[in-house]
Structure formats: structure tokens, C-alpha cells
Amino acid sequence: MKLVTWNTQWCCGLDGVVSVKRIIQGARAMADFDVLCLQEIAAGFGGMPGRPGDQPADVQALLPGFQVFFGAAVDEFDANGKHQRFGNLIATRLPVSRVQHYPLPWPPDPKVTSMPRMCTTVTLTSPDLGSLRVMTTHLEYYSASQRFAQARALRDLHVEACNLVAAPPVPDTIGTPFQAKLHTSQAVLCGDFNMPAADPGYDEIQRPFTDPALPVGGVPDMRLQDAWPLAHPDRPHDPTFRLFDRTYGPDPIACDFIFVSDALAPRVRRVEVDLQTQSSDHQPVLIELSV
């Protein structure tokens, strides 16, 4: 399975041109992806540079054969009543069993500007890997306290999912909302985390927890882990932000990560960053997983 994640800056390149088509082409240049996770996708925000339009619809039109799931972290109306949405998107050509949208914590931090954040999760089935959850997100940039709370919530979502694998609800009649759900501890968490690997939130996401299938007192042996060092054990992260545009700081950093659950860690075959494209202010990241 090949997955590309990319903070698109509402598909606005460093040349100021907004082009969903260019983003899709850039992702396809990295790989014939099965899953595409995009952050900063806009719909209806006419006041943003380049007037992005309805980008979820544009992505759907450019990816025939894919299902597209858009999770709006910001969902509001302007002074004229126009609907405006901004958030994350997952597109996949693999079979999907369930879609979930989770608002992330937004504790008050009156010293900075901020906005709501969320995580979109799609449970799908890969021919090689079986069932897995793909989670994509975009954490707060300006507030360290909000970002850490959001990182902790992402870990909690994975822990909860693993607990549901160990102790699923009693199923009800097929065709009702209570019918049996597909639960899996296999997960990929990707997106723009707006923090370097030295940030406490990076370690918080990877903090181990006890396998719920073990008896009480079991050894903490489950966690999400950064896929980059699995593929490149002797190489620092390639930068994914501020590589060409230094508006937000003097030095390039890596803040777009892909985390994988324990069962998927041995399946990581490749993790790469496109260090050439300027179709956004972030660089896209590719992961390839296989048996």
C-alpha cells in the first residue's frame, strides 16, 4: 500500500497560484498512491489568497475511482451567510468500511491566534495488509499547549481503538447503526504536526501503552512510532517545511510525519520526502507498506 500525505496550503504554491490539479499531479509523481491524505483543504473561503473554491469537489473530479472524505475542522458561515469549511481530506481507492471525524482539544490560549483542529479517520482494507485505520490531522501551530493536548488526544484515539479490538461491543442487527463494526489495531497516523521531533508532543504520540489483550499487569508493548527512522535508521528526517519559504523561520525543519502502529512497523518498506516541489509551502511525504 502506498500513501502520500501533504499539507497543501489550500493548494497554493509558492508562486501564489492555487491549483488542486498541480497537487494531485505532484502526489502522483511520487507514487501511484492507494491513499492520499491532504491537509489545509478549503471550500468557500473566498477571502483567502487565490480564492480556493470548492477543493473537495475538485479532488473528487481529479481522482475518478477514488472515494473522497473531507473533515472540516472549521465549519462556519461568513457575514453574508456563505458556507466556509477548512480541514483535512482522505482519498482512497481501497474499500472503506467506516469514516470518523474527531474534533481535537482546543483549550484556551488567549496569547495567540488559533483555530479548531480535527482528525479524520478512515477504516479501510488493503489486499496485502488487511484492515487498517488511516488517520490524518493538522495540529495547532501557534500554541504549544494546544498542540500538546491535541497530540495526547491522537494517542488516546489509538488506545481507544485498540481497546475496542480487545473488547468489541455486542453487535446488533445488520442494517442498523448498532451493527458490528470493523475494529483494527493496525493504524497509520499522518499529517502536519507543526512540531519538530524535539517537541514533547512528538514523544507523547509515541508513548507506549499496555496491550489490552494481555491480562492485568501486562507489559506496555504497544505504541505508534515514527516510520522515518524505521526506513532510515542512520539518517535525520528530511525537511518538510521552510525548505524554500522562510516566512515562518530561518531554518528548514521536519514537522510532517507518518506514524505507524506496532503491527505495521515491520511492513515499512519506504518513506520519502519530495524535496523539489514548490506547489505548497510544505513537502509531501510518501510511505510504502507491504508484507
Q: 184-220, pLDDT tens digit by residue?
A: 999 999 999 999 999 999 999 999 998 877 766 666 6
Average pLDDT taken over every residue of the chain: 95
Mean per-residue pLDDT for 19-32? Answer: 98
3-state secondary structure 69-82: EEEEEEEEECCCCC
Q: Residues 6 or more apart from 110 whose CB is under 8 A from it?
A: none
Rounded-to-integer distance, Cα 202 and Cα 145, Å? 13
Q: What is the tens place of the pLDDT at every residue in 43-77?
A: 999 889 999 999 999 999 999 999 999 999 999 99
Q: Is the dihedral of CA 69, 27, 154, 45 positive or negative?
A: negative
Amino acid identity, residue 243?
L
Domain that holds residue 173: 2-289
Cα(251)–Cα(165) distance, rounded to whole angstroms? Answer: 42
Examine the pLDDT at 172 and tell me if it is beyond 90: no
**Residue 215 CB neighbour total at 10 angstroms:** 7
Q: Which pLDDT does position 218 carry in this prediction? A: 62
Report d(CA 282, CA 285) in Å as an integer. Answer: 10
pLDDT recorded at residue 77: 96
Q: How many residues can be counted in the chain?
A: 291
Amino acid identity, position 158: H
pLDDT for residue 220: 64
Residue 1 is predicted with a pLDDT of 98
Q: For residue 102, what is its C-alpha cell?
A: 474527531
Q: What is the CATH number of the domain that holds 266?
A: 3.60.10.10
Residue with the three cell numbers 505548497: 280
Answer for the pair 188, 135: CB distance below 8 angstroms, yes or no.
Answer: yes
Domain count, the chain: 1
User: What is the reported pLDDT for 285?
Assistant: 99
Q: What is the DSSP string of the chain?
A: -EEEEEE-TTTB-TTS-B-HHHHHHHHHHH---SEEEEEEEEES-TTSTT---BHHHHHHHHSTT-EEEEEEEEEEE-TT--EEEEEEEEEESS-EEEEEEEEPP----TTS-----EEEEEEEEETTTEEEEEEEEE--SS-HHHHHHHHHHHHHHHHHHHHHHHSPPPPB-TTSTTB-----S-EEEEEE-SS-TTSHHHHHHT--EE-TTSPTT--EEE-EEESHHHH-TTSPPPP-BSSS--TT-SS-B--EEEEEEGGGGGGEEEEEE-SS--SSSB--EEEEE--
